Amino acid sequence: MATSMQSAYKQNAMKTASPGELTLMLYNGCLKFMKLTRAAIEEQDLEKRNVNSIKAQNIIRELMVTLKTDNEVGQNMMRMYDFILNRLMEANIKSDLTALAEAEELVTDFRDTWKQVIQIDRKARHGAGGKA
């Protein structure tokens, strides 16, 4: 029962989230799968490593597909996402914790920056009460 309630809550949260909040959810999901990949590498569990790494890679691919690259910022973000994707693949293929850490650091930075953007936007639209 608890898992079905959690699933319903997550689905509702996704349906009612703004595009900015969805992006934040993607970053958080990617970080979650990176942590699971790290644990699997440390446990030498190749199947879990691969499954979770692929999930993280798929999130980065989704971010790449939806990214607008009609300006320099978008083009630079695309290069960063490409770098992250390559580091995730390297981590998966070689069980490379250094490559995984590099990808994780960048995604964490993007997530933290994006969270600040959402907070600033909410504050501008709704006053001081907006938090992500």
Looking at residue 19, its pLDDT comes to 85
Structural domain contains residue 5: no
CATH number, domain of 35, equals 1.20.120.340
Q: Average pLDDT, whole number, for the chain? A: 90
Domain that holds residue 116: 20-126
Question: Which helix or strand (DSSP H or E) is residue 54 part of?
Answer: helix 46-66
Looking at residue 34, its pLDDT comes to 98
Half-sphere exposure of 53 (CA within 13 A, CB side): 29
Structural domain contains residue 90: yes
Q: Greater confidence, 3 or 102?
A: 102
**Is residue 30 within 8 Å of 107, Cβ to Cβ?**
yes
Structural domain contains residue 1: no
pLDDT digits (tens, 9 = 90+) for 55-93: 999 999 999 999 999 999 999 999 999 999 999 999 999
Structural domain contains residue 9: no
pLDDT digits (tens, 9 = 90+) for 114-123: 999 998 888 8
Q: How many domains does the chain have?
A: 1
pLDDT digits (tens, 9 = 90+) for 7-20: 555 565 556 688 88
Sorted by sequence, the CB contacts under 8 Å of residue 77 that are 6+ apart come out as: 67, 69
**Distance, C-alpha 43 to centroid of its chain:** 23
Q: What is the mean pLDDT of residues 49-60?
A: 98
Long-range contacts of 15-23 (CB under 8 A, 24+ apart): 20/114, 20/117, 20/118, 20/121, 21/118, 21/132, 23/63, 23/114
pTM for this model (two decimals) = 0.83
Looking at residue 129, its pLDDT comes to 54
Looking at residue 11, its pLDDT comes to 61
